[in-house]
Structure 1
């Protein structure tokens, strides 16, 4: 990647990529992945827009990656664990690795715009508690989505 600077004008003109979460048809957003455009690999830096009535993602948690959100415009609700919080421009949410599951819903009449930053580790485990699914992600391998009721935990002993 040769680009280090993306101007405000370039960002404004960039349409971004429309995404629908693979486990939630109502989780629709437009991503402007600015970190990708400048070759960042250790974390993702995204400007996202979520239209009224839609969610940012499926309710989930990461076991190993930190993630955070800064609200730029609009209003919504953030579900963090069992709690639901009203969010608005200027609010910051920090989702620590291994913490509570989370998602955001746009409850307003206008687009909800946010900065989303998240680690990009070589390996992570995500969990979708409302769907009873767990996602295993390992660099260079296909992702594995499993039904949590089908997970076995063998007592295989310790390695010497």
Structure 2
């Protein structure tokens, strides 16, 4: 059976600039402002990918990619496309420029984030799998996230109580 125009698969090739940016986050309200100056273009969603996500993330000067975090079941891979960021991990700080990459295996426990300490936007290609039942630990803030089989994260305090 032939699909109608509104049921067709997305085009295989597209220009990321044609996609809207969003700074939406599932973080509790108390942590949202700190993450409101990073913007995602959801490339993987636009392409109809379901096994892994691909985001083009723009971080404004003085902003961060996220709170420092580590995933229990999901891998993450980041490539710096443009600009400069400081990668903060359990090992310390490292400056990354265009063409450099970082990877964080699932369950490795190395909490990480990217901070833009320059006067220009930074652009990262962020790739992560969508393994269900992932948990995210946040060593620097009172937050913990768990994903159900549906993939949505529920955030609580570290002791399990609601925010």
Please state which band the TM-score falls in when normalised by the shorter chain: 0.7 to 0.9
After superposition, residues 99-138 of structure 1 pair within 5 angstroms as 99=108, 100-138=110-148
Contact 2:133 2:151 in 1 (8 A): no
Deviation at 1:122, TM superposition (A): 1.7
Q: Indicate the residue corresponding to 1:158 in structure 2.
A: none
After superposition, residues 70-85 of structure 1 pair within 5 angstroms as 70-85=79-94
Q: Deviations over 1:87-130 (max 9, x none)?
A: 11111000111220000001111110010000101210110111
Q: Indicate the residue corresponding to 1:156 in structure 2.
A: none
| CA distance in 2: counterparts of 1:150 and 1:46, whole angstroms | 29
Change beyond 3 A, Cα 1:38–1:102: same
Structure 2 unpaired stretches of 5+: 1-7
Bigger strand fraction: 1
Contact 2:130 2:151 in 1 (8 A): no
| CA distance in 1: counterparts of 2:87 and 2:77, whole angstroms | 12
| CA distance in 2: counterparts of 1:150 and 1:12, whole angstroms | 40
| CA distance in 2: counterparts of 1:54 and 1:92, whole angstroms | 19
Pairs aligned (count) = 149
Q: Deviations over 1:33-63 (max 9, x none)?
A: 1110111011001111011000011111001
| CA distance in 2: counterparts of 1:140 and 1:40, whole angstroms | 15
- Which of 89, 94, 114 pairs up with 2:103? 94
| CA distance in 2: counterparts of 1:94 and 1:87, whole angstroms | 13
Q: CA RMSD in A?
A: 2.0
Q: Does 1:5 align with 2:12?
A: yes
Query: TM-score of the superposition, structure 1-length normalised?
Result: 0.83
Structure 1 unpaired stretches of 5+: 152-160
**Any runs of at least 4 consecutive aligned residues in structure 1 with deviations exceeding 6 A, and if so which?**
none
